A = this chain, B = another copy of it.
Amino acid sequence: MRSLLVLPAIALLVAAPAPAPPKPKTPSEIVAEAPVAAWQAIDPADLLVMDLKGGGRVVIQLAPAFAPVHVGNIRALARAGYWQGAAIYRVQDNYVAQWGNGESEKPWPAGVNAKPPAEYARPLKGLTVHPLGFSDAYAPRAGFVDGWPMTYDPKTGTASLTHCYASVGVGRDLSPDTGTGGELYAVIGHAPRHLDRNIAVVGRVIEGIDRLSSLPRGTEALGFYKERSSDVPIERIILASEITAADRPAFEYLGTQSAAFGTFVRARANRQDDFFIRPAGGVDVCNAPVPVRRKPA
């Protein structure tokens, strides 16, 4: 794309013009200017760090408020080194990248609940929701809670995390199996919202999703790699809380109750950058990703 563009010269004005209305801020300007107090630190025990053997790091924020048993499993598996020798073995275009120990029948380490409950929804009570403010095709309401995109139903009093780009869920077999957390996937395509309330969403990739999304797609059914030699080996999966302080990555998210986040969502729904000519007047819950950043030093 060629760069260009000069504003049309204003001419023939006899009197001094009234000051132009302030130019609307872009979503990224709003995030950049958000006050320090609007940012919430992420607990290092909620950060799962996956280092790939070929280089590259993927950092996942866990969601214990929505899937406490599955997240407990994931923490126990990480601490026990369960994923030593694990690999990414499935990459399905416009869907998911999935990793774990695959077909190996590694025994569960201590502290793992082999049959977790179906943590697909939780009570709405106790959650302070920032409503999206626009309709959702999949649920009565959509919004955000503590940094997470979610849907809720005031009638049933339940809330669920949504499957958005970079969301992380628990691979499972047919219902009523809920998976343990030993096999995880991340969404690398258009939000597969039909999985909401059918799978335990346990987190989201907050750094390095491109390491997963740019992997070669598997050629077998469901995107499984045909040969084990195509698998992408994982060097280690570790909780940030287990990494020495000097090396520990630290992240924060834009608090979804902050004024800045409200402004951000409205700007995502009404793009007025110079590029846009018709703001949509709406946005879906997966197209206003909660801003995350490395904690400034």
List chain A positions with a Cβ less than 8 A from chain B.
Answer: 1-5, 91, 93-94, 98, 102-103, 105, 118, 120, 134-139, 164-166, 171-177, 183, 188-194, 196-198, 209-210, 213-217, 268-269, 271, 274-284, 286-287
Contacts and interface: CB of A to CB of B under 8 A. Distances in A.
B173 A287 contact: no
23 contacts: A2-B105, A93-B210, A94-B213, A118-B277, A135-B135, A136-B137, A139-B280, A139-B282, A164-B190, A175-B274, A175-B276, A189-B213, A190-B190, A190-B191, A191-B284, A191-B287, A193-B284, A194-B271, A194-B276, A194-B283, A197-B280, A198-B277, A214-B216
Given A176-B277, A190-B286, A194-B279, 10 more contacts: A93-B214, A135-B136, A137-B284, A138-B280, A175-B274, A188-B213, A192-B287, A197-B278, A213-B214, A284-B284
A175 B275 contact: yes
Q: Is the interface of A mostly helix, strand, loop or mixed?
A: loop
Contacts of A98: 1
A173 B5 contact: yes
Nearest to A172: B1
Contact of A93 (B173, B209, B282): B209
B282 A138 contact: yes
A292 to B, nearest CB: 13
Contact of A173 (B2, B268, B283): B2
A158 B278 CA distance: 14
Contact of A4 (B174, B183, B271, B277): B174
A143 to B, nearest CB: 13
Contact of A210 (B173, B193, B217): B217
A236 B286 CA distance: 36
A249 to B, nearest CB: 19
